[in-house]
Amino acid sequence: MHEYSIVGALIERVRAEAAERGASSVSRVWVSIGELAGVDPELLVTAYETFREHTICEKAELSVNHVSARWQCPSCARGIADDAPLCCPDCSTPARLMSGDEILLERIEMEVSHV
Amino acid sequence: MCDTCGCGDTELVPVEVHDRILADNDHRALHNREHFDRSGVFAINLMGSPGSGKTALLEATARAFGDRYQLAAVSGDLATDNDATRLRAAGIPSGTITTGSACHLDARMIHNALHDLPMKDVDFFFIENVGNLVCPAIYDLGQHLNVVALSVTEGDDKPLKYPVMFRRADLVVLTKTDLLPVLPEVSVLGISEALAKVMPRPRLLPLSSRSGEGLEAWLSELTRQRPKSVAAADLQGANPG
């Protein structure tokens, strides 16, 4: 259940970003989670719902963007099929993960007062 | 709120971040790695299921290395000091990180543990992670090498079931191979084929910590990898400041 520690880090980062801009509250948080990131998006949401009380994220909705795993040959750019060995069927070069290991805080929507 | 100019009004502002949520951990891991490099210590993050033979592998490593290299270790467990006690009995100065409910070690825990473990003259520092095939994979600790211990009794489909862990591995040590004769359903070839689907550069070292078979290849791998960190330490020494 490392999703709880990830949510802890997420809320802390949002708090720091909001404080830097003098935001009074945060209304929405966007994250991207890759298929091979080792993070269960549903557990992440559950952890977020549990932990956001009494934090800057109390009223902030969490949007999770799911990113599929995509492997590709780094020399000839050929894609690797699901359930196939992770090397290029043409040139045997070890495949590279192009996307799918993201654990990213993408964007925060916050309420900021005019001065 | 001001009726004249609108000061005090609030507006919704989007702030683009696009950064890793674990950036703070990554930063601490980098700090640990610099510390290891400065000390000429080669750090290995040893991961695997509970009971995969991580502690036995380190005991066998200490026996086989003898006086040739100085080892040190820290073990992460939810409770008890058992692993560190075993490692100390095997001659490896060891500490314990008791994680309570946490299922993994993170870079901060390693940093704190390093305060209690003198690194002077240490050649290899093993971080025996919490027994778990999921959570430890996503936290950088500052190690130079990620090793996953997989025992033959776990079956040959484990890499396919836990792709995140095996993708992170630089090396997979297949432990308890002395049990293969009584496990006709498990084959080293089957495990290799599964690994090839989750690791772009699959590397499998079959060994038995009990019989010592295959251990020499593991020791060679460690000594072959280590000069990288020693070279980093030499570089630091040659260019002080």
Among residues B67, B63, B68, the alpha carbon closest in space to that of B90 is found at B63
Is the pLDDT at A61 greater than 50? The verdict is yes
> Which residue of B lies nearest to A95 if distances are taken between CA atoms?
B200
Q: Is there a contact between B138 and A97 if contact means CB atoms under 8 Å apart?
A: no
pLDDT-derived band of residue B241, with 50, 70 and 90 as boundaries? very low
Residues of A in contact with B17 (CB under 8 A): 13, 17, 105-108
* pTM for the predicted model, two decimal places: 0.92
Residue B1 exposed, middle or buried by CB count within 10 Å (0-12, 13-18, 19+): exposed
State how far the Cα of A21 lies from the Cα of A108, in Å rounded to an integer: 12
pLDDT at B102 over 90: no
- Helix or strand holding residue B108 (H, E): helix B107-114
Residue B224's pLDDT band (boundaries 50, 70, 90)? very high
Q: CB–CB of A94/A87 below 8 Å? A: yes
Would you say how long chain B is, in residues? 241
Burial of residue A24 (CB within 10 Å: 0-12, 13-18, 19+) is exposed
What pLDDT, in 10s, does the model give residues B38-57? 999 999 999 999 999 999 99
Cα distance between residue B41 and residue B122, in whole Å: 6
Question: What is the average per-residue pLDDT within A74-89?
Answer: 95
| Chain B touched by A37 (CB under 8 Å) | yes
Query: Quick check: A44 contacting B, CB < 8 Å?
Result: no
Report, as an integer, the average pLDDT of A33-58.
96
pLDDT surpasses 60 at B100: yes
Q: Quote the pLDDT of residue B46.
A: 98
What local confidence, expressed as pLDDT, does residue B6 receive? 59
d(CA A97, CA B70): 37
Chain center to CA of B203: 16
Does A82 touch chain B if contact means CB atoms closer than 8 Å? Answer: no
**What are the pLDDT digits (tens) for B111-169?**
999 988 888 899 999 999 999 999 999 999 999 999 999 999 999 999 999 999 999 99
Given a cut of 60, is residue A73 above it in pLDDT? Answer: yes
- CA gap B104, B78 in Å, rounded: 9
Which token pair is B140?
A: 């950088």
Q: What percent of chain B has pLDDT over 70?
A: 91
Contact yes or no for B88/B62 (Cβ under 8 A): no
Say whether pLDDT at B73 is over 90: yes
pLDDT 10s digits, B178-217: 999 999 999 999 999 999 999 999 999 999 999 999 999 9
Angle separating helix axes B23-39 and A3-20, nearest 10 degrees: 100
Q: In the numeric block, which tokens belong to residue B157? A: 């489909």
Amino acid in the structure at residue A110: M
Selection from B239, B231, B172 nearest residue B36 by Cα: B231
